[in-house]
Amino acid sequence: METVKVDILNPKARKLLKDLADLNLITIRDTTKSGFSEVLKKIRSKSDTVPSPEEIAGEVEVVRSRRTKT
């Protein structure tokens, strides 16, 4: 299987692609959403507060200190 990204310039091209999909020659996937940004939105929606830069720096230092000890 080969994957290609196609920019559709003419609506007639979409119809042709749909016809090919109906014949089970190709599949069409919607890739307009960025997977990474969707994951970030989901994670952020579960958080009550945003961590401060100092809190982030503290976490980074904890992880770095654990790495140097092992």
Given the structure tokens 């976490």, which residue do they identify? Answer: 59
Residues 6+ apart with CB under 8 A from 6: 13, 17
- Residue spans of the domains in the chain: they are 11-69
Q: Indicate the SS3 state at residue 11.
A: helix
Pairwise pLDDT comparison (70 vs 13), residue with the higher score: 13
pLDDT in tens, 8-66: 999 999 999 999 999 999 999 876 666 788 887 888 788 788 788 899 899 999 999 98
Distance (Å, whole) CA 70 – CA 7? 49
Task: Extract the tokens encoding 57.
Answer: 């720096």
- Using alpha carbons, list the distances in angstroms from residue 60 to 17, 36, 49, 69, 70: 48, 21, 18, 15, 16
Asked if the model's pLDDT at residue 67 lies above 80, the reply is yes
pLDDT score at 38: 80
pLDDT score at 15: 95
pLDDT score at 20: 96
